[in-house]
Amino acid sequence: MRQLIWFRTDLRVQDNTALNAALAAGPTLALFLVSPGQWQAHDDAPAKVDFWLRNLAELARALRALNVPLLIRKADTWSDAPAVIREICRIHDIGTVQVNEEYGIHESERDRQVRACLGADGVDLRSHLDQLFFRPGSLLTQSGGYFQVYSQFRKVCYQRLHSALPSCLPLPGPQQDLGIPSDVPPCTVDGFPAPSEQLRQLWPAGEAAARERLDAFALEALWCYDDRRDFPARAGTSQLSPYLAAGVISPRQCLHAALANNQGEFDSGNPGAVCWINELLWREFYKHILVGYPRVSRHRAFRQETDALAWRRAPDELEAWQQGRTGIPIVDAAMRQLLATGWMHNRLRMIVAMFLTKNLLIDWREGERWFMRHLIDGDLAANNGGWQWSASTGTDAAPYFRIFNPISQSQKFDPDGHFLRHWLPELAHLDKRDIHDPSALGGLFGVPGYPQPVVDLSASRERALAAFRDLGGRT
Contacting residues toward ligand FAD, per CB under 6 A: 229, 237-241, 244-245, 279-280, 282-283, 286, 346, 349-350, 353, 371, 375, 377-379, 382-383, 385-387, 390
In the complex with ligand FAD, which residue's Cβ is closer, 68 or 218? 218
The reply to whether 305 belongs to the active site is: no
* Minimum CB–partner distance for residue 360 and ligand FAD (Å): 14
Q: Is 154 annotated as a binding residue?
A: no
Residue 270 to residue 280: CA distance in whole angstroms: 16
In the complex with ligand FAD, which residue's Cβ is closer, 27 or 342? 342
The reply to whether 261 belongs to the active site is: no
The reply to whether 364 belongs to the active site is: yes
* Minimum CB–partner distance for residue 372 and ligand FAD (Å): 7
The reply to whether 279 belongs to the active site is: yes
Q: Is 423 annotated as a binding residue?
A: no
Burial class (CB in 10 A: 0-12, 13-18, 19+), 116: exposed
Of these residues, 223, 311, 405, 426, which one is catalytic?
311
Q: Is 39 annotated as a binding residue?
A: no
* Minimum CB–partner distance for residue 215 and ligand FAD (Å): 14
The reply to whether 52 belongs to the active site is: no
Please identify the residue of the shown chain whose CB is closest to the bound ligand FAD: 386
In the complex with ligand FAD, which residue's Cβ is closer, 111 or 279? 279
Residue 385 to residue 381: CA distance in whole angstroms: 6
Of these residues, 107, 279, 366, 368, which one is catalytic?
279
Of these residues, 67, 346, 405, 426, which one is catalytic?
346
In the complex with ligand FAD, which residue's Cβ is closer, 363 or 377? 377
Residue 36 to residue 460: CA distance in whole angstroms: 40
* CA distances from residue 423 to 297, 339, 375, 389, 427 in whole angstroms, order as listed: 33, 11, 17, 26, 9
* Minimum CB–partner distance for residue 388 and ligand FAD (Å): 9
Of these residues, 52, 203, 282, 343, which one is catalytic?
282
Q: Is 377 annotated as a binding residue?
A: yes
Query: Computed from CA positions of residues 434, 437, 441, 443, in that sequence, does the dihedral angle turn out positive or negative?
Result: positive
Q: Is 280 annotated as a binding residue?
A: yes
Contact yes or no for 369/43 (Cβ under 8 A): yes
In the complex with ligand FAD, which residue's Cβ is closer, 75 or 387? 387
In the complex with ligand FAD, which residue's Cβ is closer, 16 or 383? 383
* Minimum CB–partner distance for residue 354 and ligand FAD (Å): 9
* Minimum CB–partner distance for residue 429 and ligand FAD (Å): 30
Find the helix packing angle between 271-292 and 380-390, rounded to 10°.
100
In the complex with ligand FAD, which residue's Cβ is closer, 71 or 281? 281
User: In the Cβ-directed half-sphere of 383, how many Cα atoms lie within 13 Å?
Assistant: 28
The reply to whether 223 belongs to the active site is: no
Residue 430 to residue 456: CA distance in whole angstroms: 21
Residues in the chain: 475
Give SS3 for 316: helix
Contact yes or no for 248/206 (Cβ under 8 A): yes
Query: Computed from CA positions of residues 400, 401, 402, 406, in that sequence, does the dihedral angle turn out positive or negative?
Result: positive
Q: Is 238 annotated as a binding residue?
A: yes
Of these residues, 39, 52, 321, 387, which one is catalytic?
387
Q: Is 450 annotated as a binding residue?
A: no
* Minimum CB–partner distance for residue 302 and ligand FAD (Å): 14
CA angle 380, 319, 434 (to 5 degrees): 105
Number of C-beta neighbours around residue 399 at 10 A: 9
DSSP per residue over 419-450, as a string? HHHHH-GGGTTS-TTTTT-GGGG-SSS-STTS
Q: Is 378 annotated as a binding residue?
A: yes
Of these residues, 203, 321, 364, 423, which one is catalytic?
364
* Binding positions: 225, 237-241, 276, 279-286, 377-379
Binding residue numbers for FAD: 225, 237-241, 276, 279-286, 377-379
Q: Show which residues are catalytic.
A: 279, 282, 311, 346, 364, 387
